[in-house]
Structure 1
């Protein structure tokens, strides 16, 4: 591919994943501006990766991949990865600038809510402690529910206890209200036809000042979820990439795609 062999600057994205048969693979995609000033992305390879997924081995594998495609790693501006310790270590070893995937961090922030639900759903001790705490604080005896493969419409008498109660519905409504607006950000920051890194800072600002901003006159599960998601994201972006994000934001100097602005203002 001659179009990538002599690039003066490019970024990359990499990820480790498993197939349905649990076989491990590593993918590598590069992003660059072509001679017509259009953003291009090229998935260079998805390679079988049976070796131990240590930082050192991943670091070597990524170096070999860039070399095999004739790419000079000195021209690599940054590489986007998830927050796995082995990926973080791999880029540290190669001394490459790493940019954490915002979508992955957002997913992790939302996932914390699911972990809380699962903790109280599968532990009788914790479930009993929650009931006792609610009783002592004169709170409604709400129960947290988790996903189940059982069909809600089943008439099996043994499954009727799985039908949601009004307390369960209240919990689901609170979670939906808090997390549904975040879907728009996931879509917008997954675009391939524009540079999404320049939107990370504005999105964080919008989440803190509007979308997830706690409402002073309200309290409850919905507000707790918003606070937990914000605390997680704000903490994760207190790292060295902050300078890179600032530079990308001010250099690009534009707003997120207009197709998403209307829903973000709600």
Structure 2
């Protein structure tokens, strides 16, 4: 209970808790807080550790996400390591291996040494490490390089940088955002102002909602702030007529807000998709191709945002320029039955196929590589619309090419690619669970490559839990105890699932 509910060990000494236990069982002598911290926690940690070690031993390939978090209530930094793998039944598994204290300077060498110790503790050879997902910081990139394993940057971080560089850093937009922050801050820091706004919302028949504040490290929080301001535009105007606001927006600035919401809506949708628990490295290339195509299309809705749209397209193109040259992304995309080779141009399509054949042959110890015929793409159909429309448009352009591949070949790769893609809402893991008997060699590679996520969101979610453990009530808790609590909290449910 202490671990799962983020309770301090001192809860067993609280009067209310002791009365509850006494009411439930008067004969029970409640142990001290020292017993729970020094005996019960290590014992439970050992039980969970053995279970995770057992299920992890069956993983032939593991992907990791990692991040560093610094506490705001104590001088402690922690380094996380989350394992992701796909079992024999093509079920995605995740386990928190570490959220250990990371003292001293966070140099690449120190982080690499920590990685070395973590993997050795769990007896995971480097050959079994598929890839490490990390943030865009130079020390993390260099640390994984020194550790000697492949790594990829977090797509959500890269998208954040592209949006800031392409739109939010522009003077006119930055000024509007700054004014929006002042307005939101006024209501966040004044209960009276918040109550007055709610009264006005009731009078106008507007749903009673609070304005949303943005967070500097998350671009989509700025998007949600813009949305909340525009949604409450009438209420804010009525409030400003009666009471004083620290800032106000002109008609032109309101127009900028509305235009930015329209322009950034596909980015918000994409951020939600890649932050889901099921998102993988296979989603990166199709997402970038669909997003750049959408930004490259002209429509009537571009009025007032055409220049910003062009700058944003350039920022996205620059930030993601190397994704179609990264073998880990190429192979993962090919092995996702929703995408296959349909999101590559002719040159990259053949390179991706050759690379997949090579990886399959290397993993299976085979030298059977077959040439695959290449047909010209069908006539393109122009379509404007949403991000989802771009995915569908790209698939339609490539459907004929996929159908004309010779399926009589003995190679599993061309036969797999010849079949139609599955609907995007379907699960690629379910596909491979049903088709691994037909394409056993390709399925084995898929189990390795699709295990990799495309963001470090799992690590960020972990540190949200850590911040609840190392809070004001437990600001003196030792890093070792904090790691045990987090390990038990996040992995204990796995004992009930297996």
Q: Normalised by the shorter chain, which TM-score bucket?
A: 0.7 to 0.9
Shift of 1:8: 1.5
For residue 148 of structure 2, what is the aligned residue in structure 1?
95
Is residue 185–residue 203 contact of structure 1 (8 Å, CA) maintained in 2? yes
CA deviation after TM superposition for structure 1 residue 115, in Å: 3.0
Number of equivalenced pairs: 235
Q: How does 1:89-128 map to 2 (within 5 A)?
A: 89-112=142-165, 113-117=167-171, 121=175
| Structure 1 equivalent of residue 82 of structure 2 | 29
Asked if residue 5 in structure 1 is aligned to residue 89 in structure 2, the reply is no
Change (3 A) 1:186 1:62: same
| Pairing partner for 1:186 from 237, 261, 271 | 271
Q: Are the equivalent residues in 2 in contact too, given 1:6–1:71 (CA < 8 A)?
A: no
- Work out which of the two has the higher radius of gyration on C-alpha atoms and give 1 or 2: 2
2:291–2:387 contact (8 Å) kept in structure 1: no
User: RMSD over aligned Cα, in angstroms?
Assistant: 2.8
Q: Which of 42, 55, 67 is matched with 2:120 structurally? A: 67
1:55 paired to 2:179: no
CA–CA distance in 2 between the matches of 1:177 and 1:218? 8
**8 Å CA contact retained: 2:58, 2:87:** no
CA contact (8 A) 1:10 1:32 kept: yes
Query: 1:207 maps to which residue?
Result: 291
Distance, in Å, in 1 between the alignment partners of 2:121 and 2:304 is: 52
Task: Indicate whether 1:18 and 2:70 are aligned.
Answer: yes
Counterpart of 1:125? Answer: none
SS at match of 2:314: helix
| Secondary structure of the corresponding residue to residue 30 of structure 1 | strand
Question: Using a 3 Å threshold, how does the CA distance of structure 1 residues 53 and 116 change in structure 2: closer, same or farther?
Answer: farther
Structure 2, unpaired ranges of 5+: 1-52, 188-235, 341-385, 391-498
**CA 1:201–1:236: 2 relative to 1, 3 Å:** same
Deviations 1:228-257 (A, max 9, x none): 33323322333486222111111223159x
Query: Is 2:348 the counterpart of 1:224?
Result: no
The C-alpha deviation readout for 1:56-100, integer Å capped at 9, x for no partner, is: 111111111111122112211111111111111111212211111
Contact 2:84 2:92 in 1 (8 A): yes
Alpha-carbon offset, residue 213 of structure 1: 2.2
Partner of 1:197: 281
What are the equivalent positions in structure 2 for 1:136-151 lying under 5 Å apart?
144-146=176-178, 147-148=181-182, 149-151=185-187
Q: CA deviation at 1:224?
A: 3.1
Bigger helix share: 2
Q: 1:221 to 1:100 in 2, by over 3 A?
A: farther
Structure having the larger proportion of residues in strand = 1
Q: TM-score, normalised by structure 1?
A: 0.77
Select the structure with the greater relative contact order (CA < 8 A; seq sep ≥ 6): 2
Residues 26-64 of structure 1: per-residue CA shift (max 9 Å, x gap): 111111111222111112121221221111111111111
**Contact kept in structure 1, 2:163 and 2:315, CA below 8 Å:** no
Q: How many Å apart are 1:118 and its aligned residue? A: 8.6
Q: What are the Cα deviations for residues 164-192 of structure 1, in whole angstroms up to 9, with x where unaligned?
A: 11111011112111112212211211232
Which whole-Å CA distance do the structure 2 matches of 1:224 and 1:57 have between them?
44
Out of 184-193 and 223-232, give the one that drifted further.
223-232
Structure 1 residues 117 and 189: CA distance shift in structure 2, 3 A: same
Query: 1:53 is paired with a residue of what secondary structure?
Result: coil
Cα pair 1:214 1:226 within 8 Å, conserved? no
User: Aligned to 2:296, what secondary structure does the other structure show?
Assistant: coil
